[in-house]
Amino acid sequence: MKKIIVTTAPPGFAPENIREQWVGVELPVEDELGNGSGFRTGAENSDGYRVNSFDALKALKAAEKNEAFEFWELRLSPKAMLVFKKEFCDEL
């Protein structure tokens, strides 16, 4: 399975201090989205990597990003998908 590491705080609705906690977190990728993808995301996250929310939460916990873990744990359903725009990540 492909993995990414977040290199820059991604865009989104979360407060900046929460978004900054993604930096340095390694995430397993479910698949990639192109700009023409049929998957619905906000424009700020088109052309990105889809990550299962359960895997994302697990990665935040492992990286000891506790504030972000608590924020997202309250807001994500177990089957939700997060999208990280490619320009904010590096492939591993």
Report pTM.
0.85
70 pLDDT tier (thresholds 50, 70, 90): very high
Separation between Cα atoms, residue 45 and residue 86, nearest integer Å:
9
Whether residue 37 is predicted with pLDDT greater than 60 in this model: the reply is no
pLDDT, averaged across the chain? 87
Phi, psi (deg, nearest 5) at residue 31: -165, 175
Residues contacting 48, CB < 8 A, separation 6+: 32, 33, 41, 83, 84, 85, 86, 89
